[in-house]
């Protein structure tokens, strides 16, 4: 094809530039069809479509590798025009490339052309550098006597089976690195898979094996240094060589056909999970993450250890310096990172790996990635999301080790940042003033990224799936976080509508904030308390600034989730007191630990359960572990003195559970000589909703946890993406239970609140008020707007809406009725 020729040494990729894969040259393409530069047989077309190998008529092999790191595109942008086994003449088309699509995602478009197994051949390029047109002569090969290959065949044979953890299998670059590693030993090493084998020193033969992620291969080594060679190669492969992705325990039974990920087209809408509220119009900016170059081979344990120590010291100093300048939130994150760097167990494992012969870079990577994988495998998404912190630190130390510093990429004005996942330090380093939204393929709604996005007022959608990574740079996007959607190149009408929404939203928010200090009341004067849900001390001040009249749910388990040992009474009392004080006299409802189910805590191990959502969870754990319950109750009781504190019990299903709790609480209060604060019950099980009157008769208030009430009513696991679409708290089945709860509370003269997600959903607010709810505890960022909405409502109208939606057949119908109602009020 037409293009600009340059020597291999100029290819910005070590494996190609160093000649590890073989001699040859590179072409910066000026076309979109790669044609055969010589006649021969196609011996392989890579599954990802980016590489074709020909066996030339003269016997040697030629690899055409389009772009750098293009194997990661999984086929997107490549249409092979030939198959393995096909004969081609010089000039025949081999591969069609969607250059724009590839350019948006690949490190480079440059195409190395490599002669492999060319021992005995002499390659003379026709030109070193310059413009060439299709059909021009690139160079000449002469000779052709195969070089004598002498390999030690004596010695014991060693063999080992392993699974390949490289995300894209053993493609060109890792094959080249393996070949280089193998050449350092006096041994012949072969790789076997599916009845075929290849010498590990031949990257082209390795490519033909088509070893993919998770495949089991067998390495066989023979020769004087067979054992050492095998150990080094296995360690290299197991390290993931910079492309690690965990391999699941069970081998896949059925292998699905590999489908090239389709690049999203204009008009496509990608669905994810909201991580921070808002809506934005912008242009796609897929973030490219610079990669440090890792020393693969150890220079000796002592040297590696001292280099590692130096890098560690430098990184600690860096983090400390950064923390001294950052916001309170950034400081908290950096402090967590610093603590990780002090983790003796972690550091000991790195030292052991170096002592066993790994380089500092490989040892650190192996330990940190294993740690991150272990976190990711935990059922609680909060832990899984912390894996991002570990990977972040891993990279930062690698940069220290290789002596370079990554340059923070500069986003263009109005960018919607797209990434697989975002690490806290990357977000902190970016100039977010130019960014209007964040969209990630992975991640969870409570990750640090979500926290930072929310604190900057940026909409963010996570878990959009791999498809988001194929969006072309510069594509027009609408990021609708509230709709949990990313719209690709929407039409002009939609853009105009969103512009209207953004302007209206800004106006609404400003007006809501201006009135945030006022009491929550409907237009007819009905008092509706608008509270905020808190998970840590730092949430309290922003909640108050947004107009929170108190805290309707302090998730105490979140205060101590990352603890290895149970927090003691003093520690708990201090936290609760500090949070109450940060609310400046406003009421604080402290929920007893809600551990179990989807929220395990390391310091309170619960035996594995068949069905944890229905097992030992919430108050049931407290009653099964009276020591834990009593410690927490004493801490709350101590913090309650002179403060407006109430206690709330999670996951109550039966009146007996409430009575048992009251007995313990009463005894602790008497022992401490303090008055027992109001004690309320969370209505999260259908049983509690149905028995609300009986519960209300014996407690001070009811607060509906709509997240759990919805999952238990609809029998849909709140963490299972397969049923996520149906998991709507506005389902009439849930609403009927909410109505029954409100009737039960009213019958006993007790107030009923909502502290689940429905309290932050504007469509739900008039319905909840109409059904009898008098306290709404929302996400802190939503408080001002929920208060403003409450002010616009009239109780009688809400009651009519409440009666109407109880007769609806589906959540969709309820949402339509509520939208029409709110539209009519506006």
Which residues are catalytically annotated?
A: 448, 755
The answer to whether residue 446 forms part of the interface with ligand PEP (CB under 6 A) is no
Q: What is the full DSSP assignment across 717-748?
A: -TT-GGGGGG--TTSHHHHHHHHHHHHHHHHT
Q: Which of residues 555-584 bind ligand PEP (CB under 6 A)?
A: 555
| Minimum distance from residue 446 beta carbon to ligand PEP (Å) | 11
Residues in the chain: 826
Is the Cβ of residue 241 or residue 651 nearer to ligand PEP in the bound state?
Answer: 651
Is the Cβ of residue 44 or residue 632 nearer to Mg ion in the bound state?
Answer: 632
Residue 172 interacting partner from ligand PEP, Mg ion, none (CB closer than 5 to 8 Å by kind) = none
Cα angle 482, 485, 489 (rounded to 5 degrees) comes to 125
Residue from 594, 728, 761, 775 that binds ligand PEP (CB under 6 A)?
A: 594
Q: Which of residues 28-47 bind ligand PEP (CB under 6 A)?
A: none
Residue from 708, 731, 785, 797 that binds Mg ion (CB under 5 A)?
A: 708
Residue 105 interacting partner from ligand PEP, Mg ion, none (CB closer than 5 to 8 Å by kind) = none
Tell me the number of residues near ligand PEP by CB under 6 A. Answer: 10
- The secondary structure of 208-253, three-state, reads HHCCCCCCEEEEEEECCCHHHHHHHHHHHHHCHHHCECCCCCCCCC
Residue 706 interacting partner from Mg ion, ligand PEP, none (CB closer than 5 to 8 Å by kind) = ligand PEP
| Minimum distance from residue 612 beta carbon to Mg ion (Å) | 13
Residue 539 interacting partner from Mg ion, ligand PEP, none (CB closer than 5 to 8 Å by kind) = none
Residue from 490, 587, 705, 757 that binds Mg ion (CB under 5 A)?
A: 705
Interatomic CA distance for residues 382 and 604, integer angstroms: 16
| Minimum distance from residue 28 beta carbon to Mg ion (Å) | 57
| Minimum distance from residue 707 beta carbon to ligand PEP (Å) | 3
Tell me the number of residues near Mg ion by CB under 5 A. Answer: 3
| Minimum distance from residue 760 beta carbon to ligand PEP (Å) | 11
Burial of 525 (0-12, 13-18, 19+ CB in 10 A): exposed
Residue 755 interacting partner from ligand PEP, Mg ion, none (CB closer than 5 to 8 Å by kind) = ligand PEP
The answer to whether residue 557 forms part of the interface with Mg ion (CB under 5 A) is no
Q: Which of residues 648-687 bind ligand PEP (CB under 6 A)?
A: 684
Element (H, E) at 366: helix 360-376
**Of 103-111, 247-255, 424-432, 706-714, which part binds ligand PEP (CB under 6 A)?**
706-714
Encoding tokens for residue 430?
Answer: 């970016």
Within 10 angstroms of residue 761's Cβ, the number of other Cβ atoms is: 23
Residue from 35, 229, 755, 793 that binds ligand PEP (CB under 6 A)?
A: 755
Residue 529 interacting partner from Mg ion, ligand PEP, none (CB closer than 5 to 8 Å by kind) = none
| Minimum distance from residue 273 beta carbon to ligand PEP (Å) | 15
Residue identified by tokens 């927490």 is 632
Residues 6 or more apart whose CB falls under 8 angstroms from that of 287 comprise 409, 411, 417, 418, 419, 422, 426
Q: Is 139 helix (H, G, I), strand (E, B) or coil?
A: strand
Interatomic CA distance for residues 517 and 545, integer angstroms: 8
Is the Cβ of residue 43 or residue 649 nearer to ligand PEP in the bound state?
Answer: 649
**Of 438-446, 467-475, 541-549, 705-713, which part binds ligand PEP (CB under 6 A)?**
705-713
Q: What share of the chain is helix, strand, coil (3-state, %, to 5)?
A: 40, 20, 35
Interatomic CA distance for residues 622 and 468, integer angstroms: 43
Site string for ligand PEP, 343-372 (x = CB under 6 A): ------------------------------
Interatomic CA distance for residues 764 and 84, integer angstroms: 59
The CA-atom distances, in angstroms, between 802 and each of 223, 572, 739, 756, 823 are 81, 40, 9, 18, 16
Residue 734 interacting partner from Mg ion, ligand PEP, none (CB closer than 5 to 8 Å by kind) = none
Q: Which of residues 629-688 bind Mg ion (CB under 5 A)?
A: 684
Helix ranges restricted to H, 411-528: 424-429, 448-455, 492-514
Encoding tokens for residue 209?
Answer: 């094996």
Residue among 366, 408, 407, 409 nearest 390 (CA): 366
Contact between residue 51 and residue 63 where contact means Cβ atoms under 8 Å apart: yes
Residue 740 interacting partner from ligand PEP, Mg ion, none (CB closer than 5 to 8 Å by kind) = none
Residue among 188, 298, 195, 299 nearest 239 (CA): 298
Residue 677 interacting partner from ligand PEP, Mg ion, none (CB closer than 5 to 8 Å by kind) = none
| Minimum distance from residue 557 beta carbon to ligand PEP (Å) | 8
Residues that bind Mg ion (CB under 5 A): 684, 705, 708
Residues that bind ligand PEP (CB under 6 A): 553, 555, 594, 684, 705-708, 755-756
């Amino acid at each position: 094809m037409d293009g600009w020729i340059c020597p291999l040494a100029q290819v910005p990729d070590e494996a190609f530039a160093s000649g590890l894969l073989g001699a040859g040259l590179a072409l910066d393409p000026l076309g979109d069809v790669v044609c055969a530069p010589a006649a021969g047989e196609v011996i392989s077309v890579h599954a990802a479509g980016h590489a074709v190998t020909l066996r030339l008529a003269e016997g040697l092999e030629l690899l055409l590798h389009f772009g750098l790191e293009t194997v990661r595109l999984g086929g997107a942008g490549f249409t092979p025009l030939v198959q393995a086994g096909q004969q081609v003449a010089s000039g025949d088309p081999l591969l069609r490339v969607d250059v724009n699509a590839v350019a948006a995602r690949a490190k480079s478009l440059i195409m190395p052309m490599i002669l492999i197994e060319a021992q005995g051949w002499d390659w003379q390029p026709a030109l070193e550098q310059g413009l060439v047109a299709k059909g021009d002569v690139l160079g000449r090969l002469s000779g052709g006597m195969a070089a004598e290959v002498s390999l030690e065949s004596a010695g014991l044979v060693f063999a080992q089976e392993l699974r390949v953890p490289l995300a894209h299998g053993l493609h060109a670059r890792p094959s080249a690195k393996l070949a280089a590693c193998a050449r350092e030993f006096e041994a012949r090493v072969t790789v076997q898979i599916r009845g075929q084998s290849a010498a590990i020193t031949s990257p082209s033969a390795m490519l033909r094996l088509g070893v993919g992620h998770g495949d089991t291969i067998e390495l066989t080594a023979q020769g004087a240094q067979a054992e050492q060679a095998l150990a080094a190669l296995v360690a290299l492969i197991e390290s993931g060589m910079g492309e690690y992705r965990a391999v699941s325990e069970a081998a896949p039974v059925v292998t699905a056909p590999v489908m090239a990920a389709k690049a999203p087209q204009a008009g496509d809408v990608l669905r994810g999970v909201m991580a921070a509220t808002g809506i934005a119009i912008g242009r796609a900016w897929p973030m490219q993450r610079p990669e440090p170059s890792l020393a693969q081979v150890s220079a000796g344990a002592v040297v590696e250890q001292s280099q590692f120590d130096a890098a560690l010291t430098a990184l600690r100093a860096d983090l400390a310096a950064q923390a001294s300048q950052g916001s309170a939130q950034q400081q908290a994150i950096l402090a967590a990172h610093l603590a990780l760097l002090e983790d003796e167990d972690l550091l000991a494992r790195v030292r052991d790996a170096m002592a066993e012969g790994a380089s500092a870079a490989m040892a650190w990577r192996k330990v940190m990635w294993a740690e991150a994988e272990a976190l990711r495998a935990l059922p609680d998404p909060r832990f899984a999301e912390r894996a991002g912190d570990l990977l972040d630190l891993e990279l930062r130390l690698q940069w220290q080790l290789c002596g370079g510093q990554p340059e923070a990429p500069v986003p263009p004005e109005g960018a919607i940042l797209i990434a697989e996942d975002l690490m806290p330090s990357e977000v902190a380093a970016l100039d977010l003033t130019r960014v209007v939204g964040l969209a990630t393929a992975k991640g969870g709604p409570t990750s640090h990224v979500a926290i930072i996005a929310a604190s900057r007022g940026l909409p963010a959608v996570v878990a959009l799936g791999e498809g988001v990574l194929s969006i072309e740079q510069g594509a027009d996007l609408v990021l609708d976080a509230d709709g949990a959607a990313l719209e690709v190149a929407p039409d002009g009408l939609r853009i105009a509508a969103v512009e209207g929404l953004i302007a209206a939203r800004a106006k609404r928010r400003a007006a809501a904030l201006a009135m945030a200090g006022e009491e929550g009341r409907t237009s007819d004067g009905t008092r509706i308390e608008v509270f905020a849900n808190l998970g840590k001390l730092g949430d309290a001040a922003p909640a108050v600034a947004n107009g929170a009249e108190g805290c309707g749910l302090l998730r105490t388990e979140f205060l101590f989730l990352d603890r290895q040992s149970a927090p003691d009474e003093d520690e708990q009392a201090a936290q609760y007191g500090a949070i109450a004080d940060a609310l400046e006299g406003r009421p604080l409802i402290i929920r007893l630990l809600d551990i179990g189910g989807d929220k395990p805590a390391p310091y309170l191990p619960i035996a594995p359960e068949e069905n944890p959502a229905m097992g030992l969870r919430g108050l049931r754990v407290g009653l099964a572990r009276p020591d834990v319950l009593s410690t927490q109750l004493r801490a709350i009781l101590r913090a309650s003195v002179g403060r407006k504190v109430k206690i709330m019990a999670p996951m109550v299903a039966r009146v007996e559970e409430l009575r048992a709790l009251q007995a313990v609480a009463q005894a602790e209060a008497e022992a401490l000589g303090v008055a027992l604060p109001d004690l309320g019950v969370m209505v999260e099980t259908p049983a509690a909703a149905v028995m609300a009157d009986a519960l209300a008769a014996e407690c001070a208030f009811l607060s509906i946890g709509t997240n759990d009430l919805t999952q238990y009513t609809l029998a849909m696991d709140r963490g299972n993406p397969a049923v996520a679409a149906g998991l709507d708290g506005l389902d009439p089945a849930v609403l009927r239970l909410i109505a029954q709860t409100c009737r039960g509370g009213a019958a006993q003269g007790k107030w009923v609140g909502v502290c689940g997600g429905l309290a932050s959903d504007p469509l739900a607010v008039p319905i909840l008020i109409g059904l009898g709810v008098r306290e709404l505890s929302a996400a802190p960022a939503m408080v001002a707007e929920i208060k403003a909405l409450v002010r616009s409502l009239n109780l009688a109208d809400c009651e009519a809406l409440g009666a109407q939606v109880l007769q609806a057949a589906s959540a969709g119908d309820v949402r339509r009725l509520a939208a029409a109602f709110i539209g009519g009020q506006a």
